Structure 1
């Protein structure tokens, strides 16, 4: 299969590209810089020069593909919603009838259920911290001529990556402490990046048009234990702060870090025979890819 992927020079997209190349697919990867081109070519993909704003490049690359995998995102770009809308339109317009499109979403599209597990039938939250992901899902699923699949991932970890975990570790090393909010009992779902990439490969290999699947390992991890593991790895202290103190320390991120909407991934297991086997989040933090010996 000829696959066009965005975000291949990034964290999740790079591992997905690696898995797709290993499975024997011909992968063409969007690359907006020389460094990105070198990265994707090292993974075994062919580079397509351009970025998400290069709509003609996106349309042409999609037109030459059997499937598109969209993993590129910049959460710090205030215009990301508009950029993604236009990029998705171009790629969907380019794809031929019956081609596949795998869209990368997040468990943050669900509301805070205060610990109640959510499956794919649970309504999404219009007030999500990442509302453009909800709009992106709809764009892909409403495109009637393609076989669209949406993957809603938990906290992605593994291979020493993840913006959230790297940020927490860096802050802990710099400040000598890392905070959880209140008692820190709110539980999060997580998924190892290699397990997540394996799900992408399975979706493309089997297909299931119009499907939304959650992607998370079975474990539910309290935020306090995540913070304690980060602290132990960074040689720092884990401390509790009040919600008010958290807002002062973390700004808008404080509201995200108190959420708890664990993901039920049974649908991915049933449809795609997906079976996460990689180390858990806590094991990865304390003795795996984030541990000092593995750095």
Structure 2
């Protein structure tokens, strides 16, 4: 089938596009710059020049596709919802006949998971630092003429990418300590980017509407991850102080102390999906992050 994807020049979207192409699908990818066009073209995707503000481009590309993946995001853009809402409207309005639409969301839409990994029907956090993702989810799920699938990803890692893991490595190198705040007993649900991409492909090939958590069943402590990063960088395994963490991570500092976990049962049952790639701790010490140490 022909899939139109936004965000294919980025980390997750690029790997999703790669897996779709490997599965024999035709991929058309939005590219707002010459550099983005070069990256998606190198994957083998058809280049569609434009950005999320180019609504006619989005409508035309979606209308010519059998399914759409929306993975484009700019977390540094404070008005991301104002950018995304009309873009989603254009994409969704061009689809009919139950065609598939997969929306990339995040585990950060849940509140701190102190009672264990949340399932999809559990409460969400209306004050989430990424609340625009909640609004985007609702807009997509309310569209009547598509099979809308929302994938809430955990801590994505692999291929030496991930903004958060890369930031933790950079802080550990710069400050010479493990990038966590005591006690570091809080848990995170990781997911390898290739495992996540396989779920996107499954959701497009066998569309099921609704919300699905995307994570492995491993639950490493943040301290474990931080100490693996310290081993990679040669840093001291002692933690950061709260003030140092705030200076080093800025808005991300609050994430370090949260339990960000997910129950992936629904995705496993609906799509027959299982994670199979290397875990995040091994990936940091002996895998794709070795060259970042």
TM-score (norm 2): 0.96
| CA positional deviation for 1:226 | 0.7
Counterpart position of 1:216? 215
Deviations 1:105-163 (A, max 9, x none): 00000000225111111111101120000000000000011110000000000000001
The total of aligned residue pairs comes to 293
**Cα separation, 2, equivalents of 1:72 and 1:227:** 28
Unaligned runs of 5+ in 2: none
| CA positional deviation for 1:179 | 2.7
Is residue 120–residue 214 contact of structure 1 (8 Å, CA) maintained in 2?
yes
Q: What is the root-mean-square deviation in Å for CA atoms of aligned residues?
A: 1.5
Counterpart position of 2:37? 37
Is 2:279 the counterpart of 1:280? Answer: yes
**Larger strand fraction of residues:** 1
Is residue 186–residue 257 contact of structure 2 (8 Å, CA) maintained in 1?
yes
Is residue 9–residue 40 contact of structure 2 (8 Å, CA) maintained in 1?
yes
Is 2:112 the counterpart of 1:94? Answer: no
> What does 1:44-83 correspond to in 2, within 5 Å?
44-83=44-83
Counterpart position of 1:103? 103
Counterpart position of 1:267? 266
Is residue 172–residue 178 contact of structure 1 (8 Å, CA) maintained in 2?
yes
SS in 2 for 1:191: strand
Is 2:198 the counterpart of 1:198? Answer: yes
Is 2:192 the counterpart of 1:225? Answer: no
| CA positional deviation for 1:241 | 3.5
TM-score (norm 1): 0.96
Counterpart position of 1:180? 180
**Cα separation, 2, equivalents of 1:64 and 1:254:** 42
SS in 1 for 2:237: strand
Is residue 178–residue 240 contact of structure 2 (8 Å, CA) maintained in 1?
no
Deviations 1:203-239 (A, max 9, x none): 1111112x11000011001000111111111222232
Is 2:246 the counterpart of 1:247? Answer: yes
Is residue 32–residue 51 contact of structure 2 (8 Å, CA) maintained in 1?
yes
| CA positional deviation for 1:42 | 1.2
**Cα separation, 2, equivalents of 1:31 and 1:237:** 42
Is residue 120–residue 213 contact of structure 1 (8 Å, CA) maintained in 2?
yes
Q: CA distance change for structure 1 residues 35 and 250 in 2, over 3 Å: closer, same or farther?
A: closer
Is residue 177–residue 239 contact of structure 2 (8 Å, CA) maintained in 1?
no
| CA positional deviation for 1:168 | 1.5
Counterpart position of 1:144? 144
Is residue 2–residue 65 contact of structure 1 (8 Å, CA) maintained in 2?
yes
Deviations 1:23-72 (A, max 9, x none): 11111000111111111111111000011111111111111111100111
SS in 2 for 1:147: strand
| CA positional deviation for 1:246 | 3.2
| CA positional deviation for 1:248 | 4.3
| CA positional deviation for 1:98 | 1.2
